[in-house]
């Protein structure tokens, strides 16, 4: 199983040109570079954990989409290779919780 960085599409225009606009563990505000829509990325636990795995974390681009684990608040949240972040297939590399992504529009 492979673990990938978050890849998110804009909820307004569908673009994947998304920029994280704050420092880690702040407010998780993101902006679409195409239509300038703003939104926050959040996670919810879906129950269960992945056991017996070793996720090697890498240094990340600070402007890449970022969110925190709903259970332990770690920023080491990854997509599972067999899904997409919008499909709810996320895992925390710190506590191994299975998560789903929630996109909260900022009005």
What local confidence, expressed as pLDDT, does residue 84 receive?
47
How high does pLDDT run on average in the chain? 85
Q: How far is 19 from 35, CA to CA, in rounded Å?
A: 12
pTM: 0.84
Q: How many domains does the chain have?
A: 1
Query: Using one digit for the tens of pLDDT, what is the confidence trace for 48-59?
Result: 888 877 777 777
Q: What is the maximum alpha-carbon separation in the chain?
A: 42
Q: Residue 76's domain spans which residues? A: 3-105
Q: How far is 85 from 89, CA to CA, in rounded Å?
A: 6
Residue 82 banded pLDDT, cuts 50, 70, 90: low
């Amino acid at each position: 199983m492979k673990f990938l960085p978050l890849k998110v599409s804009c909820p307004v225009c569908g673009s994947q040109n998304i920029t994280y606009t704050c420092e880690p563990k702040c407010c998780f505000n993101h902006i679409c570079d195409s239509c300038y829509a703003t939104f926050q990325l959040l996670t919810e636990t879906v129950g269960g954990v992945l056991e017996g795995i070793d996720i090697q974390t890498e240094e990340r681009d600070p402007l890449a989409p970022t969110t925190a684990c709903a259970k332990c608040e770690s920023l080491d949240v990854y997509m599972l290779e067999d899904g997409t972040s919008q499909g709810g297939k996320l895992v925390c590399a710190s506590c191994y919780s299975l998560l789903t992504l929630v996109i909260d529009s900022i009005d």
